[in-house]
Amino acid sequence: MPIPLLIPTGGKTRPAQTLLGPLRLDRGRVHEFCGPARHMLALILLHATSGPVVWAHPGWQTERLMCDGIAPLADPGRLILAQAHRSDDVLWTIEETLRSGAVALVVAELPVLPGLTAVRRLHLAAEAGAEAAGALGLLPPLGLLLTPGQGGAPAVESRWQMTPRHTPDLARWQLARLRARNAPPADWWVGQDSRGHPLLLQPDPQPAGRSVLNSA
C-alpha cells in the first residue's frame, strides 16, 4: 500500500450559508456585494435564510427599501432597519451586532469603501459572535457589505458583483464571483422561476472572472 504524501492538518471548517444553488458563503466572516444589482443579490441571500436581519443604512440617502418590492423574496417583517447619521455609525452598528451573535445575517449599505482596519474589526466581531451564537445553539453570524461601484473593500472573505441583463421578455442578471479565499473567479446567469424566486442558470460562456460591469 503506498504511503500518502499529504496528511490532514485539522484545519478549521466554517459553517456555510447557501447563496444560490451550489454557491456558498462562509459564516463567521464578512463578504462584499457590489455592482448595480447588489441590493437584489442581498435579497437573494435573504431568500435563502430565515430569522431576523439587521440592515444598517445611511440615513441621509433618499433611497429606501420598499416592502412591496422585497415581499416576493423575503418577509419585510424580518428586517430590523438601523438608520445611521454617519458612515462610521453604519460600521459601528454592524460590528456590535455581529459581536452579539444574536442575528444570523447583518447587512450594511456603505456609501464609500471601508478601510482595512474597519474590515478586520468586522471579521473579529463576526468570529466573537460565532462563539456567542454557538453557546446559545444559534447560527454563526454572516456579515454583508453592500459597496458602491465595482467594490473593492480590502480583506473581505469574498466579493460578488451582479448586474442586470434584462430583455423585453426575460428578467435575468449576471453574477460574478470576483474574489474568494477558497474558490476561483467565475460567472453565472441568474433568472427567476414562475413564482419570481431566484434561479441559478447555466454558467456564463464568457471567460470566468471578468467584471460584468465592463461587458457590453
Contact partners, residue 20, CB within 8 Å, separation at least 6: 44, 48, 175, 190, 198, 200
- Sort 87 into a burial class: Cβ within 10 Å, 0-12 / 13-18 / 19+: middle
User: Residue range 92-103: average pLDDT?
Assistant: 96
pTM for the model: 0.87
- pLDDT at residue 4 greater than cutoff 60: no
- Asked whether 157 and 180 are in contact (CB, 8 A), the reply is yes
pLDDT tens-digit map of 156-192: 999 999 999 999 888 999 999 999 988 999 999 999 9
Task: Output the DSSP codes for 137-181.
Answer: T-PPPEEEEE-STT---TT-SEEEEEEE--BTTB--EEEEEEEET
